Amino acid sequence: MGSGIRCILPTERRRGAIRLAGNGGQWPASGVNDDLQTLFSFLRFPSVSTDSRHKGDVRACAGWLADLLNSSGLSAVIHETPGHPVIVAKNLHRADRRTVMIYGHYDVQPADPLHLWTTPPFEPQIRDGRVYARGAADNKGQMLAHVLGAAKTLAGSGDLPVNLVFLFEGEEEIGSPNLGPFLAEHAASLKADMIAISDSGMVAPGVPTLGYGLRGIACCEVIVRGPKGDLHSGVFGGAVANPATAIARLVATLHDADGRIAVDGFYNDVRPLESWEREAWAEVPGMSDVDIAKITGAPALFGEPGFTSAERIWARPTAEINGIGGGYQGEGSKTVLPAEAFAKLSFRLVPDQDPEDILAKVRDHLVRHAPRGVEVEVLPGHHGKPYVADPGSAFGTAASVALSRAFGADPVRIREGGSIPIVRTLSETLGADTLLLGLALSDSQVHAPDENFPVAHFEGGIRMQQALLEELAR
């Protein structure tokens, strides 16, 4: 294997070249190293788990990944589920070695809206040192770095210093509905001393980042219903409550004027920040209020008083309106009073909040604050608990050393603002702490058009995997 594993799909043979923007169009395949070639092959699969039209693509991607794992010297098995497959790959396990699990997901978000992509989402290209494609950062580039790192160690020494378990699923982007039952069924064979996940980010380019916590999430949809059908706003306006007005008034009650969440009891179980966290986070590069304003392009920052932007993102809960609508959306005017309106809400949660408790409190709040003349229905959505581990544990220290070796700098320690609901399930079912070794960046456009992943971080991730296994074996 030497410089990497090369897997060529039939479509690649037909193309015979890979487009590299910034170099006048077509570059020969030999212009990109084997590791990137393998990544490009992986990224060409439109493995969109939420869209049934791509079921075959998700299954084909799973098969390709299993073949890659087997060709690297591991033993990979595809496990069928009621949805998309789970892949488990292992080396030869020995009783005198620690067991390390690496989790990742090979499914991706839909690429829509397609017209906002600079280049086609499933035709990977390199521009300015970054790979552009759907799934480049979330999660194919990050998880493949672990696979290639293990493959290089196996190629060089014929063995790994630990018992390794790769666990890859195809349903993370739809809430991992089948992974929990799979873990429960196979818990005995999947037991691990430590779990590592690279499905998050670095705070700045080249700054290694150890994540030891995640916010949880609770989602719901609010539907406000008024008359039995749309009404003429001239004939009935002023006599019948307008659901579009009602939904705007209703969601406005979620916060006070300063940005604090106004749901009764919402903050009851919030675990306070440790003093060392506040001190350390104040020094994290790329996360000052000025940095956040620049990254987001917002005219001004706004949030819960008494906290910095980093503290709000990593350790404070939120209530967000993700979508709102009702009535006529077309060109020009249509003087209609809509029959119903809706809002989609999500709440990011922190230790020790419970998503079911929060959803119950939110429902009570919305029903209690519903304007007169309308009915309110709250439909619960997916949810997951927050997670936090000890970054100063033996495994946390080993991961920090591995990150330092791979990127040549001391890592920063943070909690992540996003949510990976399966992390709590993994840790509770398998009895092991999970650490987050993110490689993406805040401007990697995850879930958005022009998703991208720095080549340097992909290469650093391969080195990190090799160093991680060595450090965990000590």
Assess contact for 216 and 383: CB atoms under 8 A: yes
| All structural domains of the chain with their residue ranges | 10-214+386-473, 216-270+317-384
Task: Quote the pTM value.
Answer: 0.83
Q: What is the pLDDT of residue 382?
A: 87
Architecture of the domain defined by 10-214+386-473: 3-Layer(aba) Sandwich (3.40)
Please list the rounded mean pLDDT of every run of 10 residues in the chain (474 residues): 35 35 38 90 98 98 98 97 98 96 98 97 97 98 98 96 98 93 97 96 94 95 97 95 97 97 98 96 93 91 95 97 95 95 98 97 97 96 92 95 97 92 90 95 94 98 98 93
Picking from 8, 437, 421, the residue whose alpha carbon sits closest to that of residue 200 is: 437
Q: What is the pLDDT of residue 333?
A: 94
Would you tell me the crossing angle of helices 34-43 and 455-473 to the nearest 10 degrees?
100
Beta-carbon contacts of residue 80 (< 8 Å; ≥ 6 apart):
none
Do the strands 194-197 and 99-105 form a parallel or antiparallel pair, or are they unpaired?
A: parallel
Distance CA 299, CA 183 (A): 45
Torsion of CA 174, 47, 122, 204, to 10 degrees: 50
Do the strands 231-232 and 375-384 form a parallel or antiparallel pair, or are they unpaired?
A: unpaired
Distance CA 72, CA 86 (A): 18
Q: What is the pLDDT of residue 233?
A: 95
Do the strands 163-169 and 99-105 form a parallel or antiparallel pair, or are they unpaired?
A: parallel
Q: Does domain 216-270+317-384 have CATH number 3.40.50.150?
A: no
Task: Report residue 198 as tokens.
Answer: 């690279």
